[in-house]
A and B are shown apart, each in its own frame.
Chain A
């Protein structure tokens, strides 16, 4: 018999000294020429910024590998401080808290084999986190995109910002006009 799942709860407002870590936004090795920036805001049902959300990203390495690698939160064994990723292995994992304006940002490398970066959003007020995807390419063959009406589909597209093709904009609207498409994995 399968054990019953432990219920989810909100991350609350006070995760800030615990979950974010130095270098959490820097998934790409420093100065990597293929680095792309994924940035956006988390907004509530009134269109107001959500300043106490945390955004996590997960994706394949550029070569398509999906195993990730340890070391996202690499620690100095002497001081215990976070020393950050060493950059040789691609960990695939990003974590960043929103700022007072609801803004978040990760610098990463293009995911191999798929057009999207997986996104999970946690926030005060959100009793169960939300999954979505930031599509870097509007892929006509993608089954999820193809199944959505155009206006909803548009919420999953991380569009290059004008003049800065390596900066992709992906706002997450938790509710209301332009509400982001959120996913479940039954």
Chain B
């Protein structure tokens, strides 16, 4: 493993984040080039994206998923092994909407995450925290007629990464979502409220608009907590991007 530069401290990264956020254009999504997130340096295009406004574009449609793609157990990550995983059992639920506010029905939601100790069941994760033989950390479900998804899992731990010295990712769950169009595809991460690592994380802070950042943080919802069983978090998701089913005269009111 290569050594990190000795001066690449959290406070140096904090300064970089403040600078990059001040220079950024407001937007819902992070810029692909965000220097404090070192991994982005060689992996972002330098040419502007080419806008496609063709109403016949294939991307305005998308793949379909159904009951054959998902089993009932897939949404409960605590039941994928013979024993119970270690950690704090949680329920995460919410609605998936498109940018017109309509529920996204019958679409695939996939999640993956570290275990309670902050370790992924992935060969390349060498964080010296224990693996949990009863937790893999991958689940999926289909949204219902109201666009709702729901998972039972355990609260993931924070984990270190080598972006800078003493860099720690806040606890998060990775989400992958499909809408009715390929243009609505979303891969993102859900965070937990009150986590002291949130302001220090270059990945969360790459979303430069504070209101947009807040939309990545779930809400603790006591009504979703199940007595003697689990704590509940609510997180609604809004997919960006157009779909072929939107009439053209509705396209402008965003």
Interface residues of chain A, those whose CB is within 8 Å of chain B, are: 1-19, 44-46, 48, 50, 56, 58-60, 66-75, 77, 80, 91-93, 111, 114, 116, 118, 120, 122-131, 143-144, 147-148, 152, 174-176, 179-186
Q: Which of B8-16, B85-93, B181-189, B220-228 forms part of the interface with chain A?
A: B181-189
Within 8 A of A (CB), among B76-125: 97, 99-101, 108, 110-112, 114, 120-122, 124-125
- 7 more A-B residue pairs beyond the given contacts A9-B174, A80-B74, A185-B51, with a C-beta to C-beta distance below 8 A: A15-B174, A45-B42, A74-B68, A118-B58, A127-B206, A129-B187, A130-B32
Main SS class of interface, A: loop
Contact status A68-B63, CB under 8 Å: yes
Pick from A13, A69, A147: contact of B64, CB under 8 Å: A69
Pick from B39, B111, B203, B242: contact of A185, CB under 8 Å: B242
**B176-194, CB under 8 A of A: which get 1 and which 0?**
1000001101111100000
Pick from A9, A68, A127: contact of B61, CB under 8 Å: A68
B227 shortest CB reach to chain A, Å: 29
B71 shortest CB reach to chain A, Å: 5
Q: Complex: how many Å from CA A80 to CA B139?
A: 12
Contact status A70-B121, CB under 8 Å: no
A-B pairs under 8 A by CB, number? 239
**B123-137, CB under 8 A of A: which get 1 and which 0?**
011000000000011
Contacts of A14 in B (CB 8 A): 112, 114, 120, 122, 124-125
Contact status A128-B61, CB under 8 Å: no
Q: Complex: how many Å from CA A58 to CA B54?
A: 17
Q: Is residue B69 within 8 Å, beta carbon to beta carbon, of the partner chain?
A: yes
- Which residue on B lies nearest to A75, using beta carbons? B71
With contacts A8-B188, A120-B185, A129-B185 taken as known, whether A3 is within 8 angstroms of B99 at the C-beta atoms is yes
Q: Complex: how many Å from CA A169 to CA B4?
A: 37
Contact status B183-A185, CB under 8 Å: yes
- Which residue on B lies nearest to A89, using beta carbons? B64
Interface residues of chain B, those whose CB is within 8 Å of chain A, are: 28-32, 34, 37, 39-47, 49-54, 57-71, 73-74, 97, 99-101, 108, 110-112, 114, 120-122, 124-125, 136-138, 174, 176, 182-183, 185-189, 203-204, 206-207, 211-213, 215-216, 237-242, 244, 253-254
Contact status A2-B254, CB under 8 Å: yes
Contact status A144-B52, CB under 8 Å: yes
Pick from A8, A46, A111, A118: contact of B187, CB under 8 Å: A8
Contact status B39-A125, CB under 8 Å: yes
Q: Complex: how many Å from CA A124 to CA B161?
A: 13
Contacts of B213 in A (CB 8 A): 7
Contacts of A124 in B (CB 8 A): 39, 43
With contacts A75-B68, A181-B47 taken as known, whether A127 is within 8 angstroms of B31 at the C-beta atoms is yes
Contact status B43-A58, CB under 8 Å: no
With contacts A77-B71, A125-B40, A127-B37 taken as known, whether A6 is within 8 angstroms of B138 at the C-beta atoms is no
